[in-house]
Structure 1
């Protein structure tokens, strides 16, 4: 079987909807709602079609396609700037130190403060891989192809990039963090709030969320122990982000308490090391394993393959990669070592 990543299309709606039903909740960027998914696909179509090569308010959606069957088996997204349609809220963990001379005691209190510090950043997110394909390394293809896309369309993305990881969800589909913090003010379950956010945006957070810092010591133990902790299924994704140069800097999601990772876009490993080159040969037998991509915007596609870069910058690739990418000698591709 051969897989490639390509730009999503409106025709992918039903397959994305079927995948969305497998997420188990907490995936705001992949709601199990046809209307919301249609809006996302339409917005992505507009972003791919935008001709001005500058920073806008775009959402790009890619899908992992089995080229033999046409099945969509995964998806991921990139946002050029968050917080443009409505505020982008996060909790930031901070420490307040106070000292009493009379008691000769210093107390350090950990706080969660509601902030919009990350507005204007680009975001990589919405990554979901069909459970049947999780043994083939396709999660890495999905994740790192986003950075190749950014490198190939650098002017359309901000100087800082973030990635939100899903937080801990219990066996009931609820969030201990939500129950311990925001749920007390909203009168909504986590599932209700998460679904509403996915469909309508998070302006309701601005309307109803208390603006005062939350003292972590006042939370119940179940909420405390999941702050900044990724869902068990997201631990590998967190390691991949760290390998790319992302770091946790004290920002957590306001819904489930999952960590928000940040990086300078130009310092993300797969952006920094991505190399363009003209194809010199499409019959490479032995070479360096790599991610290889081609195309612009709606014609973008990427695959796993082999490469060999010559001193003049030209690149030889294997026949399967060339066939799947639909490129030949003289065409431009971008690549980064696997």
Structure 2
């Protein structure tokens, strides 16, 4: 397979813009706006170039390249510490229990509370694979390459990590959840609010969103039934996150009500099980299929290949060595 994950550069603006136009809305991290994408790539360049390994609020953009054609066919992003530039808002579902002695009745009510509980977490997001490439395991390469990047640069990421999944969007591109809550206070459609957030950040949420808890029972049925559900196109992504150790813990997106998945960074399967070691050979004929990553920061690359663990070292196949631009003695990270 001639696909490799690599650090994005300014030259990737056009393919990223073209993919952004295919997302269908509700995809804040990949807006179809050249200015926003240009700024994101510039921030990513600065993050890759920074010296030091402490946690600093940064964004890393990776792209999936077909090395035979040179075409960029997918992308994903990593955020080291959310909520630094702008507060990171979520709704958290809580339960209020009340009892009436006179009626001998206990009533439980679910509430949506606006919180900043997830500020400081790292985040994986912005994952998009071109519709023409959604086969052959490329989605897995996109998703898990992010965790190998974290494993190779662990000091730059926080102790907790989250992933936001896009919520339910109707056939008109609207959000029943937004219409029931945010739309009542902002005078903006879901698409307008989502676009504004992608380009300008969500400080306007802090300025205008009601701070009191919202009783879920008072929302319309269409809004209630989508809370915590992923968009149909995100169900596979949710399963992949669960397989990595993420779990839904009652946090939902303030725009579309989609679920936020959360776990401890060191408990992510690909991170905790990744093998780091030096290459002992690059001519392996047969071995277990693996994701293999190499390179520091802007030189990071990740691809499918074959590996064979040899103590602390590893042997890999020639094609993987060529895609990763490594040779004997270089360090690689790998996971079956």
TM-score (norm 2): 0.99
Partner of 1:80: 80
Give how far 1:330 is off: 1.1
Partners of 1:285 and 1:214 in 2: CA distance: 60
- Residue by residue over 1:76-108, the C-alpha shift from the partner in whole angstroms, topping out at 9 and shown as x without a partner, is 000000000010000000000000000000000
Supply the distance in 2 between the matched residues of 1:52 and 1:331 (Cα, whole angstroms).
21
Report what 1:267 is aligned to: 267
Counterpart of 2:94? Answer: 94
Cα distance, 1:146 vs structure 2: 0.4
Q: Cα deviations across residues 271-322 of structure 1 (Å, max 9, x unaligned)?
A: 00111111111111111111000000000000011100012x1111111111
Query: Which secondary structure state, in structure 2, belongs to the residue aligned with residue 13 of structure 1?
Result: helix
- 1:256 alignment partner in structure 2: 256
CA distance in 2, matches of 1:41, 1:136: 28
Listed as ranges, the gaps of 5+ residues in structure 1 are none
Q: Does 1:291 align with 2:291?
A: yes
1:300 aligned residue: 300
2:21 matched to which residue of 1? 21
In 2, Cα distance between equivalents of 1:284 and 1:88: 46
Structure 2 unaligned regions, length at least 5: none
Residues 237-264 of structure 1, C-alpha deviation per residue, up to 9 Å, x if partnerless?
0000000000000000000000000000
For residues 225-264 of structure 1, what are the structure 2 equivalents within 5 Å?
225-264=225-264
**1:47-82 alpha-carbon deviations (Å, 9 max, x no partner):** 000001110011000000000111110000000000
| SS at structure 1 position matched to 2:41 | helix
How far the C-alpha of 1:124 sits from its partner, in A, is 0.4
Q: Pairwise mapping of residues 24-35 of structure 1 onto structure 2 (< 5 A)?
A: 24-35=24-35
1:317 matched to 2:316? The reply is yes
CA distance in 2, matches of 1:50, 1:58: 10
Following the alignment from structure 2 to structure 1, what is the Cα–Cα distance between the partners of residues 244 and 120?
A: 21
Partner of 2:145: 145
Q: Distance in 2 between matches of 1:136 and 1:231?
A: 22
1:330 aligns to what SS in structure 2? coil
Q: Secondary structure at the match of 2:306?
A: strand
Could you say which residue in structure 1 is the equivalent of 2:325?
Answer: 326
User: What is aligned with 2:50?
Assistant: 50
Shift of residue 219, structure 1, vs aligned partner: 0.3
Task: Give the aligned partner of residue 194 of structure 1.
Answer: 194
Counterpart in the other structure of 1:160: 160
* 1:255 counterpart SS class: coil
Deviation at 1:136, TM superposition (A): 1.7
* Aligned equivalents of 1:323, 1:269: Cα separation in 2: 27
2-structure distance, mates of 1:58, 1:237: 23
Residue deviations 1:153-184 (CA, integer Å, cap 9, x gap) = 00000000000000011110111110111111
Alpha-carbon distance between aligned partners in 2 of 1:325 and 1:264, rounded to the nearest angstrom? 29
Deviation string 1:203-245 (CA, Å, 9 cap, x unpaired) is 0000000000000000000000000000000000000000000
How many residues align? The count is: 336
- What's the offset of the Cα at 1:328? 1.1
Alpha-carbon distance in structure 2 between the residues aligned to 1:304 and 1:173: 36
Q: Which runs of 4+ in 1 moved over 4 A?
A: none
Aligned match of 1:216 = 216
CA RMSD of aligned residues (A): 0.6
Measured in 2, the distance between the counterparts of 1:26 and 1:147 equals 24
Look up the match of 1:103: 103
What is the SS of the residue equivalent to 1:193? helix
